[in-house]
Amino acid sequence: MTERSEPARRPTALCRDCLVLFDGKPADGRCPHCQSPRVVGHPELASLSVAHLDCDAFYASVEKRDRPELADRPVIVGGGRRGVVAACCYVARIYGVRSAMPMFKALERCPDATVIKPDMARYRVEGHRIREMMEASTPLVEPISIDEAFLDLSGTEALHQGPPARTLAALVRRIEREVGVTASIGLSYNKFLAKIASELDKPRGFAVVGEAEALDFLSEQPVGAISGVGDRLQTALSRDGITLIRHLRRYEETELMARYGAMGRRLYAFAWGRDPRPVAPNEPAKSISGETTFDDDVDDPAELLRRLWPQCERVARRLKAADLAGQSVTLKLKTRDFKIITRAHKLSDPTNMADRLYRTAEPMLRRACDGRKFRLIGIGAGDLTAGVFADPPDLLDPDRGRRKQVESAIDAVRQRLGDHAITKGRGFKPGR
């Protein structure tokens, strides 16, 4: 590449379409090679290596890809009659629809929207393809959700024969071409800034925040832009006169810690553009859980148990897939007025059997049922340990070994023939 033959100068601009690097953003803003207007220029472009990659309106984008007739129509992906917006395309956003907005509100603002029920399995497949592409760019990928991750590309210049910025541009171009969805990149020198940057130029964006400008850039950003600052903390901060990130700089670290606890320490570091957290790939899971929101509130224990069973199966399947076992079982319920109730039980030994998760949750659920109506039920396995310790033989329960074999047999059949090929009596729905 011609650019590399001039080692004295590092390139400061990049064409996101033809991936050519050059020095200095042209006056007309167009790539000198392909005339594309999608040129990103920044003095530190070649030296920054921490990125946040976030797919644009991911669920909606996958739906639009598969139904081209919806391309220019507002699309909302969200749960049934009630529930919330899981994703909305950028057309829907023009009408004021936002994700996490209650469905009825979204439809008030945009009655013409095409509403699609989420098909998580399909999104997950695409998410995995994207994850694999990210991992081909760098081993340091820290997934945040199925369509979002931090990437650290330090030391990959030789491998990809170019600076991280170019590798990232190539990555999103590949995601667009092969998966058919767009993504936005935030590039900086730490996770906190990369995350803020990826929001700046959405959709199909590429934003860079360098070390030289970080403090000025942060000054005018609202504190809400900091990940981890939710509504409550934001309210508390604004009560103390802190609405912009620069307001945080009035205080010493110890003062912020005294006021906001451990978060205060992070706020202090962030305010000065620092974030010591490394990009940590595959942080081992602390717990594995599954939950479901109902179409109609449920108060009947028997019905709740019926809804619980598939979640137990799901958690057990994920535990087995990861060769893990959990020793604590947590039951989660959400009341109709959004109060979250959890009940936990520690087992005498770890399990990864759906049957044992269910049997442990059942008495907790029966006790929690006091006539209140619930909108959500979930179960989690925590206190994770290696799968070999799961469900040891029991003096008094010679059947445990048998149940374990039954469950393995069911797993094996499902592996070959699909999830609905065989089911336990308690999960059976006539006519499915």
Partner 1 sequence: MKLTIERAALLKSLGHVQSVVERRNTIPILSNVLIEAGSGAAKLTATDMDLTIVEEVGCQVAEAGATTAPAHTLYDIVRKLPDGAQVELDVQGDQGQMRLKSGRSTFQLATLPKEDFPATQANDLPQAFSLQGKELRELIDRTRFAISTEETRYYLNGIYVHATSGEADSDGGTKHLRGVATDGHRLARFEMPLPDGADGMPGVIVPRKTVNELRKLIDETDGGIEIALSETKVRFTFDSTVLTSKLIDGTFPDYERVIPSGNDKMMEVDRKAFASAVDRVSTISTEKSRAVKLSLADNTLTLSATSPENGSATEELEISYQGENIEIGFNSRYLLDIAERLSGDGAQFSLSDSASPTIVQDAGDTSALYVLMPMRV
- Residue numbering of the annotated binding site for Mg(2+): 54, 147
Of the candidates 122, 119, 114, 149, the residue with the CA atom closest to the CA atom of residue 134: 149
Q: Scan for tokens 């081209």, then name that residue.
A: 68
| Smallest separation (angstroms) from partner 1 to the CB of 352 | 14
Residues 301-360 that bind partner 1 (CB under 8 A): 345-350, 359-360
Tell which one of 68, 395, 429, 430 touches partner 1 (CB under 8 A). Answer: 395
Q: Is 148 an annotated catalytic residue? A: yes
Query: Phi/psi at 166 (nearest 5 deg)?
Result: -70, -40
Complex with partner 1: residue 272 or 389, whichever CB lies closer: 389
Nearest to 391 by CA among 403, 380, 379, 375: 403
Residue type present at position 394: D
Residue 36: name the closest of 45, 44, 26 by CA: 26
State how beta strands 13-15 and 324-335 pair.
unpaired
> What is the SS3 assignment for 290?
strand
Q: Which of 216, 295, 397, 399 binds partner 1 (CB under 8 A)?
A: 397
Q: Is-contact 104 82, C-beta < 8 A?
A: yes
Q: Which DSSP string corresponds to 65-123?
A: HH-GGGTTS-EEEE-SSSSBEEEE-HHHHHTT--TT-BHHHHHHH-TTPEEE---HHHH
Binding site: what residues are annotated?
Answer: 54, 147
Among 119, 199, 253, 362, binds partner 1 (CB under 8 A): 362
The helix (run of H) or strand (run of E) holding residue 314 is helix 301-321
Nearer to partner 1, 67 or 367 (CB): 367
Q: Are residues 191 and 279 in contact, defined by beta-carbon separation less than 8 angstroms? A: yes
Q: How far is the CB of 397 from partner 1 (least distance, A)?
A: 6
- Alpha helices, DSSP H, located in 138-206: 157-160, 164-174, 191-200
Nearer to partner 1, 359 or 372 (CB): 359
* Residue with Cβ nearer partner 1 (278 or 363): 363
Name which position in 382, 387, 389, 426 contacts partner 1 (CB under 8 A): 389
In terms of Cα–Cα distance, which of 243, 240, 277 is closest to 256? Answer: 240
Pick the stretch among 13-21, 200-208, 391-399, 422-430 that binds partner 1 (CB under 8 A): 391-399
Residue 203: is the preceding peptide bond cis (ω within 30°)? yes
Which candidate in 44, 63, 142, 148 is catalytic? Answer: 148
Give the nearest distance from C-beta 407 to partner 1 in angstroms. Answer: 17
Residue 386 binds partner 1, judged by CB under 8 A: yes
244 conformational bin, left if phi > 0, alpha if psi -120 to 50, beta if neither: beta
| Least distance to partner 1, CB of residue 356, Å | 9
For residues 199 to 228, the per-residue mask of contacts with partner 1, x marking binding by CB under 8 A and - elsewhere, is: ------------------------------
Q: Which residues of 294-323 are buried (b: 16+ CB within 10 A; e: fewer)?
A: beeebeeeeebbbbbbbbbbbbbbbbbeee
Q: Shortest gap between Cβ of 342 and partner 1 (angstroms)?
A: 16
Which strand (E) or helix (H) includes residue 161?
A: none
Residue with smaller CB distance to partner 1, 102 or 392: 392
Residue nearer to partner 1 on the CB measure, 175 or 384: 384
When asked if residue 392 is in the footprint of partner 1 (CB under 8 A), the reply is yes
Residue 419 binding partner 1, by CB under 8 A: no
CB of 370 to partner 1, least distance (A): 10
Q: Pairing mode, if any, of strands 340-351 and 374-386?
A: unpaired
Q: Specify the stretch interacting with partner 1 by CB under 8 A; choose among 24-32, 73-81, 284-292, 392-400.
A: 392-400
Residue 420 beta carbon to partner 1: minimum distance, rounded to whole angstroms: 29
Rounded CA gap, 64 and 114, in Å? 11
* C-beta closer to partner 1: residue 296 or 349: 349
Contact with partner 1 (CB under 8 A): which of 72, 396, 425, 432? 396
Site for partner 1 in 64-103 (CB under 8 A): none
Q: Is 284 in the site for partner 1 (CB under 8 A)?
A: no
Question: Which positions touch partner 1 (CB under 8 A)?
Answer: 345-350, 359-360, 362-363, 385-386, 388-389, 392-397
Catalytic residues: 148
